[in-house]
Every structure is written in C-alpha cells, then in structure tokens.
Amino acid sequence: MLFKKGLSKIIPYEPGKPIEELKRSLRLKEIYKLASNEIPFVPVYIRKAICEEINNINRYPEANCFYLRKSLAVRLKVKESQIIFGNGSDELITLVLRATIEDKDEVIVGYPTFLIYELQARVHGAKIIRVPFKDLRYDLVSMAKKVNKKTKVIFIANPDNPTGTYLNQKEIEKFIKSIPKNVLVVFDEAYFDFAPSDFPKTFDFLRKRGNIVIMRTFSKVYGLAGLRIGYAVATEEIANVLNKIREPFNINRFAQVAALAAVKNEKFLKNTRTYILNEKEYLYKELSRLNVSFRKSATNFVLIEFKKDTSNLNAYLLKKGIIIRPLSGWGLKNYFRVTAGFRKENEKFISCLESYLNTEE
C-alpha cells in the first residue's frame, strides 16, 4: 500500500463555513459568521505595518522572527530561545508530534476536544488514547491513569474547544505532579485571554517541571486568524528540537509584522476582551430568557444544548445568513457552538433562534 496505514481512518477536519461560500451559494448580502471563534473586529492598526512590508515581499521572511521573538520574550518573561513560532497553533501541534512519535507511541487526548490533536496524532502513526470528558470537562484523574511506558504526549485544550469549560490552578497543579517528566504535557491555551482569574499559571509549572509546552495564538483575541501565527513556549531544550524540525520560513512577513504590532498593543487586547465578555453576558441573558440550555464559558464562544438534533436549526439559520457550529462531528449531536460577535450579530442570532423556536413549538 502506498500510504501510511492510519490515514484511511482519518476524517478530514471540517472548518466553520466561510462567509464567502455562503455569500456565493445564497446570494445574501449580509452574513453573520459565529462559527469559528474569531473576533468580529478587524485590527486596523496593523495596516501601516502590513503596507510597509509589501515592499519586501520579493524576499524570504526572517526565519527566526527576530523582532517578534525579542518583543514577545520580554512580554512573557522567558528567554528568546524558549519560543517556537508556528503557522497558527495548528502547526505547533504537528511539530510536537513530528518530534516525538515513533511507531505505536501513545498520545492521550480528551473527548470532545479540539479535533486536530487526534487527527495529527493519527497522521504521525501514534496510538490514540481517548479519555471521555466528565460533565463536559477534562477528566484529569482518568487521563493520568492512562499514562504508561509508551505515552509520549498528553494534549489539553485549556480552556477547551468546543465545550468552553476550563481547568483551574489547583486541578492542573495536582495533575502535573502525577505525570512523569518523560511525558510531554501540551497546554493549548488558545482562549487564555478570555479565561477567569483562577486560570492555571502554566509558566510556573514549566519552570518547575520542564515537561510542558504552552501554546498560544494570535488568531483569537488579537484578531489575526487570517494571517496564521501562533507560538509555543517550552524549555530551551525542547524549543531547540521543535525549531530544528520546523520549516525555516513558516511565518510569513505579514504575520511577523502584524504579530509584533499586536504584542505592543495592550489597548486593543484589553478592549477586545472587555467587549467579548460583555457580549457573552448578553448571550447568556437572552438564552436564559428563551429557556435554552447553555454552558457558561471561559472562551469567546458559548456551548448551547438543544432539545434535539441541530441540523434543522442549522439549515434555518444558514438561510438567514447566520453561520453557527453544529457539534455532531464531536459526538454532540444535540449541541452547537456560537461565537460572541458584534452586538448586532448576536441580536440577529437571538432573534432568529427565537423565531425558529416559536415556529417549531
């Protein structure tokens, strides 16, 4: 057989429907995309940096992201050599697996969580150990019990996507102590900026234990999802390996200058966080009024439990130009996820949901 054995079992990742696709198929002018946990704002302050960089696009970008690395290291209080940049945190997940997995090594993942861990672990030939969530949260006790001599990596999305739940300082502290130092624990903190104050101080755990990789992204609170850039922080030793095996020019010029501007712009980050947290409260209030069950979330989206399969609701909302994220692909067929957008978008979603519920009942 030409291809690797595990590949036939791979179900391709299905991203949220793009705005452009719905515009093409329904010829609607206004589309409200609340499906992919992006923020609604365009960070226009990066325009100057991007425009200036156009003058250099005939040249390869700097392979080590020199200025961005310097600036981020200061901001995070880590050494420059501890940082690895990736083409989105998606690429960082791949790098960790590429660096660690040999035949039949095991990777522990929760379920239902971010699907890329499992998908990429399969591509790299790992045996996947799925540990079901308890009450829509990671079951850390059961995950720790699954560790054995073959375990290489444990992935934890904290806060989690798609449930929006999070693990606090105490829970992670206890967990990390129970994991041997030759197993790598990846904390994917894509939604870190929206999390509450008892969120774990993973940088302290990294200093104390070493067997930790912390991943963050510029795709969420910074609003740079379209440019594709994320970063990981680890010990120098681990970072060296991951940097050695990445493609040299994995971060394009625009992503580098935009992320640098973003790191320097505390105000945008603060305002975005405040806006999103406020919109989430609006969604909570309106969903309660409609008697729709939801889970409070530590992210920029809300997990909603529906009384039945969400496919009809999804079709109804698409016709109105609203893109939500049904979760049957995660085994949650009565659930969907909605990202907090602009107030206008959230209002439109709520009013369409209300009219759907009224016609259905």
Ligand X SMILES: Cc1ncc(COP(=O)(O)O)c(C=O)c1O
Closest separation between CB of residue 355 and ligand X, Å?
Answer: 29
Tell me the closest approach of the beta carbon of residue 15 to ligand X, in angstroms: 9
- The nearest distance, CB 326 to ligand X, in angstroms, is 16
Each residue 166-195 as x (binds ligand X by CB under 6 A) or -, in order, gives ----------------------x-x-----
Binding to ligand X by residue 88, rule CB under 6 A?
yes
Work out the end-to-end distance of the chain between its first and last CA atoms, rounded to an integer number of angstroms.
53
Residues 315-344 that bind ligand X (CB under 6 A): none
CA–CA separation, 271 vs 193, rounded Å? 12
Give the nearest distance from C-beta 78 to ligand X in angstroms: 19
Q: Establish if 90 lies at the interface with ligand X (CB under 6 A).
A: yes
Q: According to the binding rule CB under 6 A, does residue 200 interact with ligand X?
A: no
In our burial notation (b when 16+ CB lie closer than 10 A, e otherwise), range 46-56 reads beebeeebeee
Q: Does 297 bind ligand X (CB under 6 A)?
A: no
Asked if 250 interacts with ligand X (CB under 6 A), we say no
Under rule CB under 6 A, residue 37 binds ligand X:
yes
Q: Is 225 in the site for ligand X (CB under 6 A)?
A: yes
| Smallest distance from ligand X to CB 351, Å | 27
Tokens 């945190």 map to which residue? 89
Number of residue whose CB is nearest ligand X: 88
**151 CB-near residues (< 8 Å, 6+ apart):** 105, 106, 107, 108, 129, 183
**How many residues bind to ligand X according to rule CB under 6 A?**
13
Least Å distance, CB 36 to ligand X, is 7
Among 32, 40, 43, 89, binds ligand X (CB under 6 A): 89
Residue 105 lies near ligand X (rule: CB under 6 A): no
According to the binding rule CB under 6 A, does residue 136 interact with ligand X?
no
Nearer to ligand X, 72 or 352 (CB): 72
Positions touching ligand X (CB under 6 A) are 37, 88-90, 114, 157, 161, 188, 190, 217, 219, 225, 230
